[in-house]
Amino acid sequence: MRAAVLAAALATGLAASPAMAGEVVITVTDLRSTKGVVRACMTTREDVFPKCIKDPASHRTVVPAGEKVEIRFTGVKPGNYAIALLHDENDNGKADRALGMMPKEGYGFSRDAPVKMAPPKFNDAVFTQGEGTNRMTIKMRYFL
């Protein structure tokens, strides 16, 4: 009887425990140069995507551009996320544009979400993060 009560208490405790944080590992491909940096942001908020800087809870990092670029976000809680990347070739902290509209620098999104006259919608780039490691590849794209 005591064993059954102990087993039930343990099962209840395990079921109520919070989800473990995971990790997202991104391999960035097709950079046209090794100049500058790659800026990455990952958010759960559809209303701010792809400008994750407006989400104080977003995951953000900057890594040097190179022949092989890997970005790693740790401590990621389970949920639905979207990622935006910028190849900031002149490392000025912004997405440079030609004629006020067309990006001069590279960009990429989770699920390789397509760009059609504007950045993709959150739903086109969204993926589900669980408790483990989520590995993905994002291809950098350039207009000019």
In a domain, 56, yes or no: yes
Amino acid in the structure at residue 47:
D
pLDDT attached to residue 118: 86
In a domain, 65, yes or no: yes
Structure tokens at 55: 């989400």
In a domain, 5, yes or no: no
Domain range enclosing 60: 20-139
Q: Which residue has the tokens 């395990």?
A: 14
CA angle 22, 53, 37 (to 5 degrees): 80
Q: Which residue has the tokens 């087993």?
A: 7
pLDDT attached to residue 17: 52
pLDDT attached to residue 8: 44
In a domain, 6, yes or no: no
Angstrom CA distances, 26 to 13, 62, 83, 85, 118, stand at: 34, 13, 10, 10, 23
CATH code, domain carrying 120 = 2.60.40
Give the count of domains, the chain. 1
47: exposed, middle or buried (Cβ count in 10 Å: 0-12, 13-18, 19+): exposed
In a domain, 2, yes or no: no
SS3 44: coil
Mean pLDDT by 10 residues, the chain (144 residues): 46 54 96 97 97 93 96 97 97 87 91 90 97 96 88
* DSSP tag of 104: S
